[in-house]
């Protein structure tokens, strides 16, 4: 895994997350339980949980980077 870890993610900050070929640009809305956050997609404005993205595992390309 490259990039940031889950515990480095902060509410109100924007990130790009890559997993299994899917690319998400998102904002952290609020922390939930350990290693889970409520997210807002920056393109569709849909809200979902981080656990939904990684529910089927972390791919070889898994990466979290902060957006400028």
pLDDT single digits (tens) 2-47: 688 888 899 999 999 999 999 999 999 999 988 899 999 999 999 9
pLDDT at 61: 92
Structure tokens at 43: 């393109």
Give pTM, 2 decimals: 0.88
Residue with tokens 């609020």: 30
Q: Torsion angle, CA of 17/45/9/36, rounded to 10 degrees?
A: -90
Q: What is d(CA 38, CA 60) in angstroms, rounded to the nearest whole number?
A: 24
How confident is the model over 49-59, as pLDDT tens digits?
999 989 888 88
Residue scoring higher pLDDT (67 or 34): 67
């Amino acid at each position: 895994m490259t990039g940031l870890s889950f515990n480095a993610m902060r509410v109100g900050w924007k990130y790009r997350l890559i997993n299994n070929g899917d690319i998400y640009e998102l904002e952290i809305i609020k922390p939930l339980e350990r290693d889970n956050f409520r997210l807002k997609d920056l393109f569709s404005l849909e809200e979902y949980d981080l656990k939904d993205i990684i529910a089927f595992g972390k791919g070889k390309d898994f990466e979290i980077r902060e957006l400028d």
